[in-house]
Amino acid sequence: MPDAISAPFIPVQYTGEETETSEEMQAPNEQAAKTLFQSAVRRLQQVNNWGEICGTLSSSFQLVDKTGEETDEAANAGLYIRIDIPGPATRAGKGYDWVVIEQMEHVVLNDHQEVFFIRARPTGHPSQKNAGTAHFLKEEATSSFVVSRDYKTVTATVFGRNEVPNAAEVEDIADKVRNVVVGLTGAIGVSKLQWKALVKALLAE
């Protein structure tokens, strides 16, 4: 279960898999915790660097704008994340899996507690939405990337909710087979290992 600070910002789980991958660090004092929180938030927003800080076995990540053009800016709501995962690719996504950042917020609860989160959801390729969801998970799934500070404790967590393989609603037969294969070969489990590397890297000194 998410901690009390993060819980209000995490979607309700109602179907499929539910995953949580977390790392916590205790700072020597609150000022140090604030500095660590700010550093983790900056790293989280640099989506194009996720693959590098997650290690050699990670997927690669690229922020893309609504026109389908790559961008080096920091993450923001409305931008897409193009994901190149190991293994076969989708036709619908022109060789990639895609999510859209549907919400990004920094919430200061009080002087001692604050939360920053990015929530992403599977979507279609920005220039060919009519091809359907271009991701091995259905669009009901969400990934919430959260950094929270509770006094001297800073926590980074990736919450996966409603993770169901995207097969039944896919029209392209090749993509249908690909999504089933990717789902059955443990893509959700592989993602969890990748996210563990990410949350550790976000809090690294």
- The pLDDT score that the predictor gives to residue 159 is 95
Beta bridge partners of 38: none
DSSP 10-44: SPPP-SSEEEEEEEEEE-SSHHHHHHHHHHHHHHH
Closest CA relative to residue 146, chosen from 44, 57, 69: 44
Mean per-residue pLDDT pooled into runs of 10, the chain (205 residues): 84 92 96 98 97 80 94 96 74 77 97 98 82 78 96 96 74 55 53 86 92
Which CATH code fits 14-202? 3.30.530
Identify the pLDDT of residue 101: 97
Q: Are 125 and 94 in contact (CB under 8 A)?
A: yes
Q: In what order do the strands lie in the sheet with 60-64?
A: 17-26, 153-163, 142-150, 113-122, 97-108, 80-84, 60-64
**Residue whose C-alpha is closest to residue 118's, from 79, 90, 146, 86:** 146
Q: Is the pTM of this model over 0.75?
A: yes
On the CB side of 21, how many CA atoms lie within 13 Å of its CA?
Answer: 20
| Per-residue confidence (pLDDT) for residue 140, from 0 to 100 | 94
The DSSP secondary-structure symbol of 74 reads: P
Across-strand partners of 104?
Answer: 118
**Cα dihedral value 171, 132, 118, 17, nearest 10:** -20
pLDDT at 2: 67
User: How far apart, in whole angstroms, are the C-alpha atoms of residue 68 and residue 100?
Assistant: 12
